[in-house]
Structure 1
Amino acid sequence: MKNYFAIVLLLLTTLGYAQSSLSGLLKKYNSEAIPYITVEELKQSKNEVILLDTRERNEYNVSHLKNAVYAGYDHFNLDSVKKHIPNKNNPIVVYCSLGVRSEKIGIKLKDAGYTNVKNLYGGIFEWKNQNNTVYSTKGKQTENVHAYSKTWSKWLLKGEKIIN
């Protein structure tokens, strides 16, 4: 009986840790079917990649990475992406708030034959948390970042959290 309680305690502790770190959160929700690219790696190759913002339009309108193309999540349209990115070998980086929704869109791209898709580790939240610039739909720098929801907003440590 003592061993049973010890095992339960260990499991609860592990689950608590998994949800209190970004890596734990991403491991919980993602399969890593789409390889990650870090913020630093993206900054080094930013001019060579196509950025796809896989959040919803209202999130994108608040702020996005410079030159990112809106792709959406609930209303993702593969045909629209094919028109915008006809070369399936182009390097593409998908991102969302943290990297969960973007992995799902990345898988759709991979299934459609795109060969060079990566998922931004930690999404726009990690981008902003590392003091990088985000832009409004008017192309102006902004401190505003759509925080998706009150629950998920805890992962955004810098910038102005917008929830609507």
Structure 2
Amino acid sequence: FNSPHGACSACSGLGVKSEIDPELVIPNKELSVAQGAIHPGWWLSWHINELEMLARRYGFSLHTPVKELSERHIKLILYGEGGELVRYRNRYGRVRQHFTGYEGVIPYLERLSQDTLSERTRVEIERYMVSTPCPVCQGKRLKPESLAV
């Protein structure tokens, strides 16, 4: 296409969407969360307290192998339980954000991938992503109205 006006807004005209793949985030379901089942490994060290509270609240153990957790508990770990993203300015004037519930591994990584200024962080997160055809344009790269012409 010659003009960005006709490009699919969901994929910015690329025809593909990059998404975090749950199978890459938890590649070895024989391990427990406490044993390092969740990748990237640094995620757990930053969020262990939230995850411990989630496990207590929903009645599961971080020491149980992932393959033995219920589908509901795995979805809670991966996608969170809802809540609200609160943005605020700290005393140094920098915009910060805090999630009021448990955000989940995948929403956190997606948000960090979009918000980070660090190329190193972005490249690290891309290791857990897969490209799939855009669900809106089915890989055709154009808005539905542009395709209808």
TM-score (norm. length: structure 2): 0.27
Higher RCO structure (Cα 8 Å, ≥6 apart): 2
> Larger Rg: 1 or 2?
2
TM-score by length of 1: 0.25
